[in-house]
Structure 1
Amino acid sequence: MTAIHNPRNLIALAAVCLSSMMFGLEISSVPASLPALERVLQGDFQDLQWVMNAYTIAVTSVLMAAGTLADRFGRKRLFVISLALFGLTSLLCGLATSMPAMIAGRFLQGAAGGVMLICQVAVLSSQFSDPAERVRAFAAWGVIFGIGLGFGPIIGSAIVALASWQWVFLVHGPIALLTLALAQYGAVESRDPDAVKLDLGGMLSLSLAVLGTVFYITQGAELGFTSPAALAILLGSLVCLAAFIAIERRVPHPMFDFSVLRIRAFAGAMFGSAGMNVSFWPLMIYLPVYYHGVLGYDDVKAGWSLLAYTLPTLVVPPIAERLAQRFQPGWVIPGGLLVIGAGFFLMLWGSAADNASWLTLLPGCVLAGIGLGMTNTTVTNTSTAAVPSARAGMASSIDMSARMISLALNIAVMGLILLWGVDAGLPGVDDGERLQRAATIASGQLGSDDPERARAALVQGFGWVLGYGGISAWLFAVGSFLVFGAQRTTGRRLEVARS
């Protein structure tokens, strides 16, 4: 009997897939609930950013530590604990009555989600010993994870429209209970007898560096970017970053081994990872603002409109894998980033068109989704294949951490650019009120004083965001292409030699 047909393995696979769907939904469905959160919990523009960033920063904080803890104390045990905590923290978010409570709940939820994500990989790796069956298990996990990400916007919008925003979070309670029962029965416990010591110093210094930088970007406009308080936060973040680099160079078993960056394929893939997260993924937070504030769509129509942005990411990866095998990842990853950038510029044109609608944004949304589909899976496969198999877990953790750090930073950066763009479109407004007015409009609330001018300012701000995303994707495409350079040449020579 093969491993995949073992009933316990099938049950464990179901648990892992359900947990991956929850993790994906929590990234892509929550943006659809942000307008409702803003109304009900009386949040401002910065609060909405922190609802997303608290989750991604917390995931980043625990990712690398989670692998070490799972190896030492048991992968199944930590998976079960993380599932229980994810369900409980989701309930905390759903029951929040204020923005501070919501942001705190999201941080705790992200910490549980980060541990859960690493444990998914660890459980599958230990549960399926046969290489062929392991590939099939990971393929199923990837598909379900992609469905959670791809259909999250419409699922979140439908929940908000048919029930309430609370159920975007509360729905994870019963799903977590079911997943917990499946994991408890199906998953087999495993440990690594040679597990290394937890790199606590590296984990704390990196987390504080990211948190401080995001805080400086999001709150800088209010504090004053050159004010003593803001500069102190920025300096503290830089000190923490320097401490992280120093710690990782000295500890015997670093959670971030900088030596892997000398491997061209790995470094080129990391450019691709960062390129996706300065463009495609953070825009998912701000697209609903455009659909609500500029086009006047309700939650469900905005969610349906977002499907054009996310569905191609589910369809294209199998094609991208074949392209990577034939033409080398050094062509496919930069090519995917170039396509994302082109999609952003098409959306820029569509968003500013006369009688703009979801149809004028459709070509750009689809093109950006195709580019993401070309890049996403290829980056993961390339980064893990570029290092020895014994270090694949570390490589995967670096890849995921790079994604979450760049996502957290660029949610903040895109928000700041949106704010600046809206502010520049409000001439004649008193300077004392201008920033507050711009922040209100940037969150999608046009107000009743001069809604047409507010709408035009929001269109301009959104255009600035799209321009930033498009240019950034192309710059990272160039960087990835250049870093891959020798790798492409080597691959081509090998193909010629084989023929």
Structure 2
Amino acid sequence: MDRKWWTLIAVSVATFMLLLDITVVNVALPSIRKDLNASFTDLQWVLDAYALTLAALVLTAGSLADRLGRRRIFSWGLVIFSLASLLCALSPNPTFLNIARAVQGVGGAAMFAVSLALVAQEFPAGRERGVAMGWYGATIGVAVALGPLVGGALTDGLGWESIFYLNVPIGVVTLIVTFTRLRESRDPHATRVDWAGVAAFSASLFLLVLALVRGNDEGWTSTLILSLLSASAALMAVFVWIELRVPEPMLPMRLFRRHAFTGVQLAAFGVSSSLFALFLYLTLYMQNYLGLTPFGTGLRYLPVTAVSFLASPIAGLLLSRVPARVMLGAGLAAIGLGLYLMGGVAPGDEWTTLLPGFVIAGAGVGLINPVIADVAVSVVPKQQSGMAAGINDTFRQVGISVGIAVWGAIFVARGAREVRELAAGTPAAGGGHPHELVEAASSGNLDMVLAAFPPRSRQAVATAARDGFLAGFNEVLYYGSLVCFAAAVLAVWLVREHQIER
């Protein structure tokens, strides 16, 4: 078999493992909460700790790959990710798990940063690369499709730890293929790493997410939250200043003069900050509100993921025939419509209320994944493909990490407001009880919190908490749909075919 197909296989398997880990963890979160006695904030950090380090380091990993060798960095990523997965499985408490997840993100950054570059160097631009990107997109679809099922089956049968053990043998096999079949490549003109940019960007992103996660508890006008937001903005300004002045920036600002480059980054951010970030809240709804098992939740995700899997190869074939902006705009609009249809859930509804939205959003994801992957590396010179892939993955992961934090803040604030209105005149409406009740309903810990209220009022308080959950849940779905519609408009406006190598 030709080397290019071995490259596609290795990259696809690694991507499968990375994405499987995200979707698997989503389904396992309620079980992790129960076993490790985790809070709602802990559950947010299980996802954000991974996404934050991945987003913060993927650009650096791309730069290192261009300098030290893409195969080498990819291999180190596999090693770090596999070892961190083992640590996740052995976690005795939420803090240990979140630290291990952060280390996982380091390995994930190295793998993500060069995946598309490895494919792009083996498949020439045009129809052949379009087919390869179609299969790459299908891999994403399979990971998303199988993730909830595999995660549900493993969590129900062997415990949540097994979802992390699964990565170890997959990582070892992929590492063997990487060393024996893949070709080394690098940018001969690359010389140095932008460490100052790395430090400023990472610190800014961390402070932003920390402020968003802690905002409801500390108060949005508190000194702590305002200081965190101000420091984050200042560090981001420093980062831009650095990138405009260093000889070899990790994020060359000149690339954003190319409208197609900017458009595809906004498309990646749009889908990641909306649908992918909202998978956390969809899972909490199905497991902690409807009472489904992890495997039952995985089964309910099949429509969105199966449609995505079927649409990706078709999108890959259309890449050389249909303008990229048309596919991006249509796909993002479909995801926005799907999220809108998922909203409006009422207390007596079943999971089937989400079904039309699942199908339409799944088709949108399948349509845009291959397009984003192809355009991301086709709007820059081939020598910079590692950097371009890293930038695109950064926008994806920043979207997920910031999205989870933003939706969490809106979700709890809206839910608490609903609880305060419904429970007016009772102890549940005072102090921090509304926030506490919404978080308890979200994390499956409501019975424990209700024990602190008088027995006669518990049923009314429980109803208010569950209604507050739905109020917050519906609101973040509607806002998520607006993000996608906005990204669709920007993609159609900015992406131009003549700027894409075909």
Q: Deviations over 1:237-269 (max 9, x none)?
A: 111101110011011222212222222222222
How far apart, in 2, do the equivalents of 1:55 and 1:256 lie? 21
The answer to whether the 8 A contact 1:87-1:172 is kept is yes
The answer to whether the 8 A contact 1:383-1:396 is kept is yes
Partner residue of 1:459? Answer: 470
Partner residue of 1:307? Answer: 302
Q: Deviations over 1:35-90 (max 9, x none)?
A: 01111111111111111011111111221211222233333333222212111100
How far apart, in 1, do the equivalents of 2:184 and 2:263 lie? 36
| Residue 23 (structure 1) shift | 0.9
Tell me the amino acid that sits aligned with residue 359 of structure 1: T
Partner residue of 2:404? Answer: 411
Partner residue of 1:437? Answer: 437
Higher relative contact order (CA 8 A, sep 6+): 2
Instruction: Map 1:31-430 onto structure 2 (within 5 A).
Output: 31-125=26-120, 139-321=134-316, 325-349=320-344, 351-352=345-346, 355-427=348-420, 428=423, 429=428, 430=430
The answer to whether the 8 A contact 1:71-1:191 is kept is yes
| Residue 403 (structure 1) shift | 1.2
| Residue 97 (structure 1) shift | 0.7
SS at match of 2:349: coil
How far apart, in 2, do the equivalents of 1:130 and 1:426 lie? 55
Tell me the amino acid that sits aligned with residue 414 of structure 1: W
How far apart, in 2, do the equivalents of 1:320 and 1:186 lie? 28
| Residue 10 (structure 1) shift | 5.5
How far apart, in 1, do the equivalents of 2:493 and 2:120 lie? 33
Q: Deviations over 1:361-387 (max 9, x none)?
A: 101111111122222322332333333
How far apart, in 2, do the equivalents of 1:366 and 1:253 lie? 44
Superposed CA RMSD in Å reads 2.5
SS at match of 2:313: helix
| Residue 155 (structure 1) shift | 1.1
How far apart, in 2, do the equivalents of 1:137 and 1:320 lie? 11
How far apart, in 2, do the equivalents of 1:269 and 1:9 lie? 25
The answer to whether the 8 A contact 2:137-2:370 is kept is no
How far apart, in 2, do the equivalents of 1:189 and 1:320 lie? 29
The answer to whether the 8 A contact 2:415-2:435 is kept is no
Give unmatched runs, 5+ long, in structure 1.
492-499
Question: CA, structure 1 residues 90+205, in 2 after alignment: closer, same or farther (shift >3 Å)?
Answer: same
The answer to whether the 8 A contact 1:11-1:185 is kept is no
How far apart, in 2, do the equivalents of 1:74 and 1:473 lie? 36
Partner residue of 1:496? Answer: none
Tell me the amino acid that sits aligned with residue 378 of structure 2: A
SS at match of 2:432: helix
The two structures have a TM-score, normalised by structure 1, of 0.89
The answer to whether the 8 A contact 1:15-1:183 is kept is yes
Tell me the amino acid that sits aligned with residue 475 of structure 1: A
Instruction: State the number of aligned residues.
Output: 481
Q: Deviations over 1:100-132 (max 9, x none)?
A: 101100000011111022243444455678988
The answer to whether the 8 A contact 1:446-1:455 is kept is no
The answer to whether the 8 A contact 1:280-1:372 is kept is no
How far apart, in 2, do the equivalents of 1:193 and 1:272 lie? 31
SS at match of 2:419: coil
SS at match of 2:331: helix
Identity %: 31
Q: Deviations over 1:316-339 (max 9, x none)?
A: 233435556555222332222222
Give unmatched runs, 5+ long, in structure 2.
451-457
| Residue 94 (structure 1) shift | 0.6
The two structures have a TM-score, normalised by structure 2, of 0.89
Partner residue of 2:492? Answer: 481
How far apart, in 1, do the equivalents of 2:283 and 2:47 lie? 14
Question: CA, structure 1 residues 246+102, in 2 after alignment: closer, same or farther (shift >3 Å)?
Answer: same
The answer to whether the 8 A contact 1:59-1:114 is kept is yes
How far apart, in 1, do the equivalents of 2:327 and 2:373 lie? 13
Tell me the amino acid that sits aligned with residue 481 of structure 1: V
Q: Deviations over 1:13-34 (max 9, x none)?
A: 5433322221111121110110
Which piece of structure 1 moves more, 470-479 or 412-421? 470-479
SS at match of 2:343: helix
Q: Deviations over 1:443-468 (max 9, x none)?
A: 24442633333322222111111111
Question: CA, structure 1 residues 383+138, in 2 after alignment: closer, same or farther (shift >3 Å)?
Answer: closer
SS at match of 1:431: coil
Q: Deviations over 1:416-469 (max 9, x none)?
A: 121122212213322232222222123244426333333222221111111111
SS at match of 1:425: helix
Question: CA, structure 1 residues 414+440, in 2 after alignment: closer, same or farther (shift >3 Å)?
Answer: same
Question: CA, structure 1 residues 228+433, in 2 after alignment: closer, same or farther (shift >3 Å)?
Answer: same
How far apart, in 2, do the equivalents of 1:214 and 1:259 lie? 27
How far apart, in 1, do the equivalents of 2:325 and 2:8 lie? 32
Question: CA, structure 1 residues 359+280, in 2 after alignment: closer, same or farther (shift >3 Å)?
Answer: same
How far apart, in 2, do the equivalents of 1:170 and 1:46 lie? 24
The answer to whether the 8 A contact 1:90-1:105 is kept is yes
SS at match of 2:250: coil
How far apart, in 1, do the equivalents of 2:152 and 2:118 lie? 32
Q: Deviations over 1:198-221 (max 9, x none)?
A: 011111111111111000000111
Question: CA, structure 1 residues 329+185, in 2 after alignment: closer, same or farther (shift >3 Å)?
Answer: closer
Question: CA, structure 1 residues 149+279, in 2 after alignment: closer, same or farther (shift >3 Å)?
Answer: same
